[in-house]
Amino acid sequence: MSMSPFYRRHWRHAAILGLIVLTGFGLFLPEWRKAAGNHFALVQTIHEWGGLFYGLAVLGLGGMFYPWPTKSPAKSPGFTRWAYFFIVMLFISGVGLLIGPSWTRSIATVTHAIFAFVFVGWVVWHLVAHIPIRIGKKKPFTLSLARRHFLGWVIGTAATLPVLWSLPSLAKVVSGRTIQQGEVQGALPGFVPYTVTNGYPAIDPATYHLEVNVPGNSIRLSYEQFKALPMIERKINFQCVTGWAVDGVSFLGVDLEKFLLSKGWDPKEKPWVLFYSADGVYTESLSAEQIHQYQPLIAWQIDHRPLPQSQGFPLRLLVPGMYGYKSIKWLYKIDFADQDVLGYWEQRGYPENAYLGSYNGL
Q: Which residues bind ligand MTE (CB under 6 A)?
A: 191-196, 240, 277, 279, 282, 311, 324-325, 327-330
Cβ closest to ligand MTE, residue 68 vs residue 313: 313
CB of 332 to ligand MTE, least distance (A): 10
Residue 327 sits at φ, ψ, to 5 deg, of -85, 75
Q: In terms of Cα–Cα distance, which of 190, 294, 206 is closest to 244? A: 190
CB of 335 to ligand MTE, least distance (A): 16
Omega before residue 201 within 30° of 0, cis: no
With CB cut-offs between 5 and 8 Å by kind, which of Mo ion, ligand MTE, none does residue 329 bind? ligand MTE
- Contact in structure between 317 and 296 (CB atoms under 8 Å): yes
CB of 316 to ligand MTE, least distance (A): 7
Q: Would you call 176 helix, strand, or coil by DSSP?
A: helix
CB of 311 to Mo ion, least distance (A): 12
CB of 325 to Mo ion, least distance (A): 4
CB of 68 to ligand MTE, least distance (A): 40
Cβ closest to ligand MTE, residue 23 vs residue 242: 242
Q: Would you call 2 helix, strand, or coil by DSSP?
A: coil
With CB cut-offs between 5 and 8 Å by kind, which of ligand MTE, Mo ion, none does residue 192 bind? ligand MTE
Q: How many residues does the chain have?
A: 362
With CB cut-offs between 5 and 8 Å by kind, which of Mo ion, ligand MTE, none does residue 321 bind? none
Residue 356 CA, chain-centre distance (Å), reads: 15
CB of 9 to ligand MTE, least distance (A): 40
Residue 185 sits at φ, ψ, to 5 deg, of -95, 10
With CB cut-offs between 5 and 8 Å by kind, which of Mo ion, ligand MTE, none does residue 193 bind? ligand MTE
Cβ closest to Mo ion, residue 223 vs residue 275: 275
CB atoms within 10 A of CB 351: 17
Cβ closest to Mo ion, residue 240 vs residue 291: 240
* DSSP assignment letter at 88: H
Question: CA-to-CA distance for 325 and 40, rounded, in angstroms?
Answer: 16
Question: CA-to-CA distance for 243 and 96, rounded, in angstroms?
Answer: 9
CB of 194 to ligand MTE, least distance (A): 4
With CB cut-offs between 5 and 8 Å by kind, which of Mo ion, ligand MTE, none does residue 195 bind? ligand MTE
Cβ closest to ligand MTE, residue 223 vs residue 325: 325
Question: CA-to-CA distance for 232 and 252, rounded, in angstroms?
Answer: 6
CA end-to-end distance (rounded Å), the chain: 48
Contacts of 21 (CB under 8 A, 6+ apart): 116, 119, 120, 159
**Residues making contact with Mo ion (CB under 5 A):** 240, 324-325
Cβ closest to ligand MTE, residue 251 vs residue 272: 251
Question: CA-to-CA distance for 32 and 159, rounded, in angstroms?
Answer: 14
Question: CA-to-CA distance for 300 and 165, rounded, in angstroms?
Answer: 35
Sheet arrangement for strand 217-222 = 217-222, 209-214, 331-337, 272-277, 283-287
Cβ closest to ligand MTE, residue 68 vs residue 325: 325
Cβ closest to ligand MTE, residue 252 vs residue 328: 328
With CB cut-offs between 5 and 8 Å by kind, which of Mo ion, ligand MTE, none does residue 44 bind? none
